[in-house]
Structure 1
Amino acid sequence: MAAPAPATAATVIVTDVAKPAPIPRLLDLGAGKCIPCKMMSPILDELKKEYAGRFDVEFIDVWKDPAAGQKYGVKMIPTQIFYDATGKELFRHEGFFAKDDILAKWKDFGIAFTDAKAAAPATEKGN
């Protein structure tokens, strides 16, 4: 009838501390062989690298995972779904979506990301 070892409580505390803070998410549902989806691929790769830690970028191939297409109510591909940091869907777009348009859409929702390479203030306009 000995008391449980205190190591269990320490393990729980470490696990809780390791949880990352939620961030906005862009989910792209498409397919590897669809032409507009192929056009989106380098854009998604750039966004994933340039904005890592500021928003997540995920891709699901609905031809390989048809259940995902049903789960997210995909009617055509590619479909991009924007989620806030709480997981609430903000916007849904069908078809090709350019990088600048994606970033502008985030800004429409009050989520402005500074330039990926230089964290300059957002006061400058133009190139």
Structure 2
Amino acid sequence: MAKKIVGPAVLVLLFLSISLACAQDFSAVPEKGTVTMVDLGAKKCIPCKMMAPIMEKLEKAYEGKAHIVFIDVWKNRGQAPRFGIRTIPTQIFFNENGEEVWRHEGFLEEKTIVDRLTEMGVKKPDIVNNGVSSCLIPYS
């Protein structure tokens, strides 16, 4: 029985189809008409892992008030050049018109994110932590 050898072109096509299947559509980011905060990183980067629980918490807390988005640039490779990313994580804040108003590289603490969103006119959320009534960390 003869063995079939898979050519490099077939392997490239297979890789691209798997990559595209994992990639998400972020063409609507930033979301026009609402303040948007985008965190560009990767699920396996250490500072990105440290930000993951903060991002999940804020995404829930700001639902309906602001658009909070995480983009894994290792899985969605076209997004890094689109947003001009030099290092991960990078956080970008966009106003309601979709214009970038602030950018930060590296880990960004929750208080700074909340303060920045508040400066942009987004009301601080009241309830977080899986529906249990409790305030975000105290901000004065």
Taking structure 1 as the reference length, what is the TM-score of the superposition? 0.71
Query: Is the aligned partner of 1:34 residue 2:45?
Result: yes
TM-score under structure 2 length normalisation:
0.65
For these two proteins, the number of residue pairs brought into alignment is: 100
Query: Distance in 2 between the 1:112 and 1:64 partners?
Result: 30
Equivalent position of 1:48 in the other structure:
59
CA apart distance, 1:21: 7.9
Structure 2 distance, partners of 1:22, 1:112, is 12
**1:115-126 alignment, distance < 5 Å:** 115-117=125-127, 126=140
Runs of 4+ residues deviating >3 angstroms: none
Structure 1: runs of 5 or more not aligned: 1-19, 119-124
The offset of 1:114, in angstroms, is: 2.9
Match of 1:82 among 85, 89, 93: 93
CA deviation map 1:51-104 (0-9, x unaligned): 101001111111112211011000000000001111011100000001111111
1:1-127 to 2 correspondences below 5 Å: 22-109=33-120, 111-117=121-127, 126=140
Q: Distance in 1 between matches of 2:67 and 2:119?
A: 18
> Aligned partner of 2:69: which letter?
E
> Does the residue aligned with 2:78 lie in a helix, a strand or coil?
helix
Unaligned runs of 5+ in 2: 1-30, 129-138
Aligned alpha-carbon RMSD (Å): 2.1
Report the Cα distance in structure 2 between the residues aligned to 1:45 and 1:66, rounded to whole angstroms. Answer: 22
- Contact residue 51 and residue 116 of structure 1 kept, 8 A: no
The 8 Å contact of residues 114 and 124 in structure 2, kept in 1 or not, is answered as: no
C-alpha contact 2:38 2:69 (8 A) present in aligned 1? yes
